[in-house]
């Protein structure tokens, strides 16, 4: 080796061995020069990439906030069953990088995407590598998380406003998950495996689905998408760092009578997979398993089980047990058998599209300013039927139950009449005609609370294609029905096949949220999903047109105009949610005192319940922390064995009087080992005199488990 080569490789090795990630084959994520110097180690053609994964807490307010998903104003948070997480992976080929983040959220709202992009643009460590174009954010669609983080009236109305603190913890958590994945970048490979999973989801809108062409329906095995696709991330050193899978089913196995924050069936499947791999949720570097969302718009886990109960245990909730264990088992099967290496370039295209006036060439018409139809008020009959439906499913402009008078009367009663101001905006003839069969109930694309405020829902949508070698992620900003998703996958894979793409994946509820997305034929039936397809009858064709355009730009290596980036509307929001004024305890008590002690002896399988005098959990979300710890005596010390993110525990908050709080902690000991235990509660109380928030703890007496 000559002197020049010796100096070059010495410098490269020095760069590789510095920073947070040290050792052979490790790459400091922020060191662009190092990646350039060792580009020989990266070969997209043979499947050698930069790979990294990260995870972070995004749980939010655990008391007195209406949950997001069922739109049931009485369903307010009152504790935690499982915490909510942001799970990120990064893949790079030495030229470009992409980021995918699956989030345990009801929806991924547009103002989250905007704020994440802005925060990263101002971050010295991340800004040179990531931006809104190569970051794809997706929600699992759990119906068990707190709401109030949209910024748009329709989605915040049932929650009583926009909660800045909640929005911030989500944005910050997503950014931190990306930062962890960035710092964990290594040389490695991605394996792909795809199979089918039956017996988990059923179509909840068969009448609409059956209106799709018979020949198209005959090409598929059933009226739900059974495709289950998994990516496995492994470093060159053989370290398994992540598993990301996509499958279409609603995470609403736990019904609207539940008040504890939960990640539902997808989050629980993630937990089981991560537990198998020894995931440490408090560590910067650990194994990550995401069960991400696909085209679940018309797919329920509850067929055969009835409307989802509030039960939080697998033994009692058969819909939950079925969806959790079958998704988990299929992921493990595909993960263990994965052998096909992903190869090919990393690429992406992203655009903002004004959906009010987009010309759809295939039909010679445009999309429409957004509106929700009459049957939106009915809800889904199998998942979240409205307790007081204003109109049934299937109402079109020709239905006997519909008239302008009936619509106006119904709107004036919706949520206590808060939407009554919007009725005049429904009366434009062209607006009505654009929506064809849909009778406009809520004119979300025309009405706002004040002349200077934002419209009720976003009208400019982010559309995105992410190519990871032979895999294409199709980012759909809403809930895509089975057939709409199939059409997108077919179109994108066809366009990118010559570029080596074999797998098309719907990344559902991605980057923004515009309710549902049905096919033209499904829309005509105006079932719940069609009535919630906001931008009119040609929305599915419009999205498909743009996805093809983005894919073609990747194939031809051409640019796409960025489009009109929407404004951040969070500064124009109101927050009427309950706030903590102060916390108190009864005379002669202090925060953390035990009200109900455990018995001294329990048998394995018992449910142990204890209670503390505590404080309001919204004083401090305890992000990357816990409100409870089950501790076991081992080698001369008590060590944590369960926390509030473990599904065998629950942390429940209840107000007692004016400002007192009772905290009830339960622990299901079915899977516990015999031994000596105690239970600790951690919280934060707020002073009514100074507003100071102070941490406290309490711990029970010890007890034995036989």
Q: Is 94 left (phi over 0), alpha (psi -120 to 50) or beta?
A: left
Judge whether 522 and 211 are in contact, CB under 8 Å: yes
Residue 119's pLDDT is 98
Q: Tell me the mean pLDDT in the region 645-669.
A: 98
Binned at pLDDT 50, 70 and 90, residue 443 comes out as very high
Binned at pLDDT 50, 70 and 90, residue 521 comes out as very high
The DSSP bridge partners found for residue 290 are: 244
Give tens-digit pLDDT for 189-238. Answer: 999 999 999 999 999 999 999 999 999 999 999 999 999 999 999 999 99
Residue 310's pLDDT is 93
Question: What is the sign, positive or negative, of the torsion defined by CA atoms of 316, 317, 318, 323?
Answer: negative
Residue 39's pLDDT is 57
| pLDDT at position 37 over 60 | no
Judge whether 164 and 111 are in contact, CB under 8 Å: no
Judge whether 478 and 517 are in contact, CB under 8 Å: yes
Q: Tell me the mean pLDDT in the region 67-86.
A: 96
| pLDDT at position 38 over 80 | no
Reference 603, options 541, 676, 669; nearest CA is: 669
Residue 15's pLDDT is 33
| pLDDT at position 17 over 70 | no
| Domain segments of the chain as ranges | 1-34, 42-346+459-513+539-556, 352-458, 594-705
- Phi, psi angles (nearest 5°) of residue 683: -160, -170
Q: How many residues does the chain have?
A: 706
Binned at pLDDT 50, 70 and 90, residue 5 comes out as very low
| pLDDT at position 36 over 80 | no
Across all residues in the chain, what is the average pLDDT?
A: 93
The DSSP bridge partners found for residue 79 are: 652
The DSSP bridge partners found for residue 366 are: 359
Residue 680's pLDDT is 98
| pLDDT at position 109 over 60 | yes
Question: What is the sign, positive or negative, of the torsion defined by CA atoms of 320, 322, 323, 324?
Answer: positive
Structure tokens at 343: 């190869």
Binned at pLDDT 50, 70 and 90, residue 8 comes out as very low
Q: What is the pTM of this model?
A: 0.95
Q: How far apart are alpha carbons 644 and 84 in whole angstroms?
A: 11
Binned at pLDDT 50, 70 and 90, residue 700 comes out as very high
Residue 26's pLDDT is 45
CATH match for 594-705 among 3.30.470.10, 3.30.450.90, 2.60.40.2300, 3.90.180.10? 2.60.40.2300
200 Cβ contact partners less than 8 Å away, ≥ 6 residues apart:
247, 249, 301, 322, 323, 326, 327
Give tens-digit pLDDT for 276-318. Answer: 999 999 999 999 999 999 999 999 999 999 888 999 999 999 9
Structure tokens at 242: 């992540």
Reference 265, options 65, 70, 81, 516; nearest CA is: 81
Binned at pLDDT 50, 70 and 90, residue 33 comes out as very low
Binned at pLDDT 50, 70 and 90, residue 470 comes out as very high
Structure tokens at 679: 């239970």
DSSP 633-658: EETTEEEEEEETTSTTEEEEEEEETT
| pLDDT at position 25 over 90 | no
Residue 40's pLDDT is 53
Give tens-digit pLDDT for 590-607. Answer: 999 999 999 999 999 999
Residue 30's pLDDT is 40
Give tens-digit pLDDT for 485-509. Answer: 999 999 999 999 999 999 999 999 9
Task: Classify burial at 119, counting beta carbons within 10 Å of its beta carbon; exposed 0-12, middle 13-18, buried 19 or more.
Answer: middle
Residue 414's pLDDT is 87
| Strand pairing class (516-517; 479-480) | parallel
Residue 514's pLDDT is 98
Residue with tokens 């790979």: 51
Binned at pLDDT 50, 70 and 90, residue 4 comes out as very low
Q: How far apart are alpha carbons 530 and 373 in whole angstroms?
A: 8
Binned at pLDDT 50, 70 and 90, residue 32 comes out as very low
CB atoms within 10 A of CB 79: 23
Residue 271's pLDDT is 98
Give tens-digit pLDDT for 535-569. Answer: 999 999 999 999 999 999 999 999 999 999 999 99
| pLDDT at position 267 over 70 | yes
Residue 27's pLDDT is 52
Q: How far apart are alpha carbons 163 and 147 in whole angstroms?
A: 8
Judge whether 186 and 52 are in contact, CB under 8 Å: yes
222 Cβ contact partners less than 8 Å away, ≥ 6 residues apart:
none
First-residue to last-residue Cα distance in the chain? 68
Q: Tell me the mean pLDDT in the region 115-123.
A: 98
């Amino acid at each position: 080796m000559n002197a020049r080569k010796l100096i070059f490789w010495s410098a490269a090795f020095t760069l590789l061995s510095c920073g947070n990630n040290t050792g052979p084959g490790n790459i400091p994520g922020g060191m662009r020069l190092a990646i350039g110097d060792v580009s020989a180690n990266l070969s997209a053609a043979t499947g050698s990439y930069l790979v990294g994964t990260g995870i972070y807490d995004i749980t939010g307010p655990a008391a007195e906030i209406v949950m997001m998903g069922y739109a049931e104003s009485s369903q307010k948070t009152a504790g935690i069953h499982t915490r909510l997480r942001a799970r990120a992976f990064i893949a790079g080929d030495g030229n470009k990088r992409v980021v995918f983040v699956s989030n345990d959220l009801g929806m991924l709202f547009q103002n989250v995407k905007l704020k994440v992009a802005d925060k990263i643009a101002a971050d010295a460590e991340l800004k040179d590598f990531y931006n809104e174009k190569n970051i794809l954010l997706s929600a699992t669609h759990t119906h068990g998380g707190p709401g109030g983080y949209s910024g748009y009236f329709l989605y915040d109305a049932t929650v009583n406003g926009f909660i800045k603190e909640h929005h911030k913890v989500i944005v910050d958590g997503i950014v931190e998950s990306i930062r962890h994945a960035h710092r964990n970048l290594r040389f490695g490979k991605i394996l792909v495996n795809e199979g089918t999973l039956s017996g988990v989801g059923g179509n909840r809108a068969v009448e609409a689905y059956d209106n799709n062409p018979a020949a198209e329906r005959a090409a598929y095995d059933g009226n739900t998408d059974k495709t289950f696709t998994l990516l496995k991330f492994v470093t060159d050193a053989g370290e398994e760092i992540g598993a990301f899978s996509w499958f279409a089913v609603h995470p609403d196995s736990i019904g609207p009578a539940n008040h504890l924050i939960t990640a539902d069936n997808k989050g629980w499947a993630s937990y089981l997979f991560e537990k198998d791999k020894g995931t440490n949720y408090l560590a910067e570097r650990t194994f990550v398993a995401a069960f991400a969302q696909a085209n679940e718009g018309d797919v329920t886990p509850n067929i055969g089980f009835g409307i989802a109960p509030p039960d939080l245990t697998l033994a009692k909730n058969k819909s939950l047990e079925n969806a959790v264990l079958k998704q988990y088992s299929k992921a493990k099967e595909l993960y263990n058998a994965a052998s096909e290496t992903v190869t090919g370039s990393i690429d992406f295209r992203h655009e903002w599209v004004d959906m009010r006036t987009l010309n759809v060439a295939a039909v010679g018409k445009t999309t429409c300013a957004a509106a929700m139809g009459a049957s939106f008020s009915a809800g889904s009959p199998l998942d979240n039927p409205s307790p007081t439906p204003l109109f049934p499913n299937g109402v079109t402009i020709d239905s006997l139950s519909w008239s302008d008078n009936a619509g106006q009367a119904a709107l004036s009663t919706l949520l206590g009449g808060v939407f009554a101001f919007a009725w005049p905006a429904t009366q434009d003839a062209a607006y009505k005609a654009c929506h064809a069969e849909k009778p406009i109930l809520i004119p979300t694309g025309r009405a706002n609370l004040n002349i200077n405020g934002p419209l009720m829902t976003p009208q400019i949508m982010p559309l995105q294609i992410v190519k990871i070698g032979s895999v294409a992620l199709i980012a759909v900003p809403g809930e895509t029905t089975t057939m709409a998703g199939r059409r997108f996958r077919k179109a994108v894979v066809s366009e990118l096949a010559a570029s080596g793409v074999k797998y098309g994946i719907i990344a559902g509820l991605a980057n923004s949220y515009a309710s549902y997305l049905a096919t033209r034929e499904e829309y005509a039936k105006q079932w719940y999903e069609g009535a919630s397809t906001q931008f009119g009858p040609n929305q599915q064709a419009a999205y498909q047109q743009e996805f093809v355009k983005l894919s073609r730009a990747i194939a031809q290596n051409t640019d796409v105009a960025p489009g009109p980036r929407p404004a951040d509307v969070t500064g124009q929001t109101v927050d009427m949610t309950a706030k903590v004024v102060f916390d108190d305890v009864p005379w002669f008590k202090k925060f953390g005192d035990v009200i109900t002690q455990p018995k001294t002896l329990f048998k394995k399988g018992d449910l142990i319940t204890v209670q503390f005098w505590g404080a309001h959990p919204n004083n401090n979300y305890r992000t990357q922390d816990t409100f409870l710890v089950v501790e076991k005596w081992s080698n001369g010390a008590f060590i944590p064995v369960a926390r509030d993110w473990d599904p065998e525990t629950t942390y429940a908050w209840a107000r007692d009087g004016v400002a007192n709080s009772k905290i009830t902690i339960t622990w299901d000991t079915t899977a516990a080992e015999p031994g000596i235990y105690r239970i600790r509660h951690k919280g934060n109380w707020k002073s009514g005199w100074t507003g100071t928030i102070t941490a406290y703890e309490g711990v029970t007496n010890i007890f034995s488990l036989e």
